[in-house]
Amino acid sequence: MKKLATLFMIMVLATVTAKAALAGDTLADAKKKGVLTVGCKDSLPPFGYIDEKSRQIVGYDIDFVNAIAKKMGVKVELKPVTSASRMPQLQEGHIDIIAATMTKNAERAKVIDFSHTYFFTGQKFITKKGTVKSLKDLDGKKIGTAKGSTSEQNVKKAVPTATVLSFDDYPQAFLALQQGKVAAVTTDEAILAGILAKAPNKAQFEIPALQISDEPYGLGMRKGDTNFVNFVNKTIVEMEKSGEAKAIFDKWFGPSTLFHLDRTFKITADK
């Protein structure tokens, strides 16, 4: 019995040690390498997309994580991810942080750690003009969204009779709407506004006043990566106090932009 108990304790300690090793200390490691590897979107304006002139990935999420990397004194390496691949990429060590329109929720927080909320929006729909006035208008219809997103789960609950078609990304879902293959595309309003602003036939579509969820975005980090999480949170709060966070928001969502939205929240320590 003593041998079995000892063996059990060794296994437990090995598991704990393995988990601790997996989390590591990204803050120290990135400073040592001089590079922070960031998982981001590359086809989702204005959060992350390839600029036509520079051919570089730019956007709201990119500016935010660049500010954090500058505070660390390191360079940024951007790696495109999808909604479905971003958490596995983080857990497998291919990226150090997720800056990719990621909604914070309890299920995800069991697997990874999140920063304070740095952007807040709500889930809505893009539809053809005049076709959807209430959720009942979507009963039994096909609705497009992205694989691995919270939008998948939220819309299934909001419109249980609908058929949800999941695409690799939101531009593909919007193409399906343009082709008449789905009756609506659903995700966060800020993302929908970005898609619609870039659409050549945007006058044919609209975002009805139908919100089915709140969507607070957080930067994702490995579970238990405490030093890095604390550093990122401290930096986000400092950015809010200094006005840098608002300046980034105004750059991408201010009144002179294609994606105009009201900034109705402040980035502060989550309670």
Identify whether residues 53 and 127 lie together within a single domain: no
Token pair belonging to 99:
């800056």
- Given a cut of 90, is residue 100 above it in pLDDT? yes
What is the percent of the chain with per-residue pLDDT over 90, rounded to a whole number? 80
The answer on 208 and 86 residing in a single domain is: no
Pairing verdict, β 205-206 and 213-217: unpaired
Whether pLDDT at 96 is above 50: yes
Phi, psi of 184 (to 5 degrees): -160, 160
Which residues fall within 8 angstroms of residue 237, CB to CB, at 6 or more apart?
A: 116, 267, 268, 269
- 70 and 185 share one domain: no
Q: Are strands 75-80 and 35-40 parallel, antiparallel or unpaired?
A: parallel
Assigned domain for 208 exists: yes
- Could you tell me the pLDDT band of residue 90, with boundaries at 50, 70 and 90? very high
Q: What are phi and psi of 122, to 5 degrees?
A: -145, 150
Largest Cα span, the chain: 75
Give yes or no: residues 231 and 108 share one domain: yes
30 belongs to a structural domain: yes
Q: Under a CB-based contact definition with an 8 Å cutoff, are residues 124 and 189 in contact?
A: yes
Query: What is the pTM assigned to this prediction?
Result: 0.82
**Model confidence pLDDT, tens digit, residues 178-197:** 999 999 999 999 999 889 98
pLDDT category, 2, cuts 50, 70, 90?
A: very low
Indicate whether 266 belongs to any domain: no
- Position 149, amino acid: S
Q: Which of 197, 215, 233 is at the close of a domain?
A: 215
The interaxial angle of helices 60-72 and 226-242, nearest 10 deg, is: 110
Say if CB 112 and CB 221 are below 8 A apart.
yes
Domain shared by 34 and 56, yes or no: yes
Asked if residue 143 is part of any domain, the answer here is yes
pLDDT tier at 263, thresholds 50, 70, 90: confident
Confidence of residue 94 (pLDDT cuts 50, 70, 90): very high
Query: Is residue 10 predicted with pLDDT exceeding 60?
Result: no
Both 114 and 222 in one domain: the answer is yes
Residue 13: pLDDT over 50? no
pLDDT in tens, 202-212: 899 999 999 99
State whether 73 and 200 are in the same domain: no
- What is the pLDDT averaged over residues 142-167? 95
H/E element, 175:
helix 170-178
Tell me how many domains the chain contains: 2
Are 167 and 197 within one domain?
A: yes
Residue 14 lies in a domain: no
Instruction: Place 107 in a pLDDT band, splitting at 50, 70 and 90.
Output: very high
What is residue 17's predicted lDDT score, i.e. its pLDDT?
Answer: 39
Please report whether residue 5 resides in a domain. no
Instruction: Report CA 155 to chain centroid distance, whole Å.
Output: 17
Report the C-alpha gap between 126 and 189 in whole angstroms.
9
Pairwise CA distance, residues 40 & 37, whole Å: 10
pLDDT at 175 over 50: yes
Task: For residue 130, give its domain range.
Answer: 122-215
Is residue 211 in a domain? yes
C-alpha–C-alpha distance, residues 91 and 175, integer Å: 31
Read off the pLDDT band of 258 (50, 70, 90): confident
Instruction: Using DSSP, state whether 122 is helix, strand or coil.
Output: strand
Residues 206 and 247 in one domain: no
Going by pLDDT thresholds of 50, 70 and 90, the confidence category of residue 259 is confident
Q: Report the pLDDT averaged over residues 250-265.
A: 79
Among 199, 215, 231, residue at a domain's last position: 215
Mean pLDDT of 200-226: 95
Is residue 9 assigned to a domain?
Answer: no
Residue 84 has pLDDT above 70, yes or no: yes
Tell me what pLDDT residue 24 has: 78
Domain with residue 56: its CATH number is 3.40.190.10
Q: According to the 3-state scheme, what is the secondary structure of 176-237?
A: HHHCCCCCEEEEEHHHHHHHHHHCCCHHHEECCCCCCEEEEECCEEECCCHHHHHHHHHHHH
Residue 8 C-alpha from the chain's centroid: 40
Q: Which of 186, 215, 244 is the endpoint of a domain?
A: 215
State how far the Cα of 251 lies from the Cα of 259, in Å rounded to an integer.
10
